[in-house]
């Protein structure tokens, strides 16, 4: 960990948006999952959500250039459970799905707490998921195809959200609570050591402005 690397990590974390996320409804192809997470990282999503039943979530590192470790995925066993969790955090849930009532995605305001609900590649958002969402949005298409790939749809909507949030100044300062910020920065900077701290249930140590860990001894040390 160099001071330059630490500065880049901190600058990225300063721009993370705790109230912008995606909810993936049984999106099961690893390359699509990876592509969605890569977009989440690019627009500053702090944490993604997925409805996933049965086997563990497939490994994503090979297809996302490591972005899986920068955007964690919270797993839910059902869409109702997932939506209840998001609403408890004040999120509005918008389903990206073609319905007669769906609004043009560009007409909505994404500067408030928002979760974009995206469905599986073949069938889209499930009826169960639509029934518990707060509304539907659609990406207008002028060709013969009926839908976009889920990762393309995610990117289209999320970059519109980024555009609006940039204009509103929401990336100009950190919006994470201090405890979450400190913990995340330590986990990003020292992932191996952070696993040991989690295992032993220890609070994360303080980091100085250059990423050095503060030790009780007078002399500062950098861990390998």
What DSSP letter does each residue of 177-205 carry, written as one string?
-HHHHHHHHHHHH-HHHHHHHHHTTPPPP
Task: Mark whether 46 and 114 lie in a shared domain.
Answer: yes
Q: For the chain, give me the number of helices (H) and strands (E)?
A: 8, 7
Q: Going residue by residue through the chain (224 aa), what tens digit of pLDDT does each one get? A: 788 999 999 999 999 999 999 999 988 788 888 999 999 999 999 999 999 776 556 555 444 445 567 999 999 989 999 999 999 999 999 999 888 889 999 999 999 999 999 987 667 788 888 888 999 999 998 887 777 889 999 999 999 999 999 999 999 999 999 999 999 999 999 999 999 988 998 888 889 999 998 754 334 455 55
pTM, whole model, 2 decimals?
Answer: 0.87
What DSSP letter does each residue of 43-59 carry, written as one string?
HTB--EEEE--SSPPPP
Which one of 139, 167, 195 terminates a domain?
A: 167
List the one residue out of 59, 79, 178 whose CA is nearest residue 120: 79
Task: Mark whether 113 and 204 lie in a shared domain.
Answer: no
Which one of 167, 191, 211 terminates a domain?
A: 167
Task: Mark whether 22 and 123 lie in a shared domain.
Answer: yes
At 54, which CATH number?
Answer: 3.40.1280.10
Integer Cα distance of 146 and 166 in angstroms: 31
Task: Mark whether 99 and 194 lie in a shared domain.
Answer: no
Q: Which two tokens stand for residue 205?
A: 């140590």
List the one residue out of 155, 162, 150, 156 whose CA is nearest residue 110: 162
Task: Mark whether 93 and 182 lie in a shared domain.
Answer: no
Integer Cα distance of 173 and 185 in angstroms: 15
Task: Mark whether 197 and 161 lie in a shared domain.
Answer: no
Residue 36 contacts residue 154 (beta carbons within 8 Å): yes
Task: Mark whether 85 and 191 lie in a shared domain.
Answer: no
Integer Cα distance of 136 and 133 in angstroms: 8
Task: Mark whether 81 and 137 lie in a shared domain.
Answer: yes
Task: Mark whether 92 and 179 lie in a shared domain.
Answer: no
State in Å, rounded, how far the first CA of the chain is from the last one.
8
Task: Supply the pLDDT for residue 54.
Answer: 61
* Full domain range(s) for residue 191: 1-15+175-224
List the one residue out of 181, 173, 159, 182 whose CA is nearest residue 36: 159
Residue 204 contacts residue 183 (beta carbons within 8 Å): yes
Task: Supply the pLDDT for residue 58.
Answer: 58
- Cα-based distances in Å from 151 to 1, 36, 38, 204: 32, 5, 9, 35
Q: Which two tokens stand for residue 118?
A: 């995206």
State how many domains the chain has.
2
């Amino acid at each position: 960990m160099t001071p330059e690397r630490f500065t880049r990590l901190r600058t990225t974390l300063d721009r993370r948006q705790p109230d912008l996320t995606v909810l993936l409804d049984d999106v099961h192809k690893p390359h699509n999952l990876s592509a969605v997470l890569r977009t989440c990282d690019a627009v500053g999503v702090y944490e993604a959500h997925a409805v996933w039943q049965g086997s563990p979530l497939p490994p994503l590192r090979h297809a996302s250039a490591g972005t899986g470790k920068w955007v964690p995925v919270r797993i839910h066993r059902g869409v109702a459970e997932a939506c209840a969790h998001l609403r408890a955090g004040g999120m509005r849930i918008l389903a990206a799905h073609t319905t007669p009532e769906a609004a043009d995605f560009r007409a909505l305001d994404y500067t408030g707490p928002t979760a974009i609900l995206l469905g599986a590649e073949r069938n889209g958002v499930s009826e169960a998921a639509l029934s518990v969402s707060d509304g539907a949005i659609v990406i207008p298409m002028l060709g013969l195809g009926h839908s976009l790939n889920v990762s393309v749809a995610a990117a289209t909507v999320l970059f519109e959200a980024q555009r609006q949030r940039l204009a509103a100044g929401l990336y100009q300062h950190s919006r994470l609570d201090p405890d979450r910020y400190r913990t995340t920065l330590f986990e990003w900077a020292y992932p191996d050591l952070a696993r040991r701290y989690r295992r032993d249930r220890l609070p994360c140590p303080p980091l100085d402005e250059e990423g050095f860990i503060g030790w009780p001894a007078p002399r500062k040390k950098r861990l390998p």
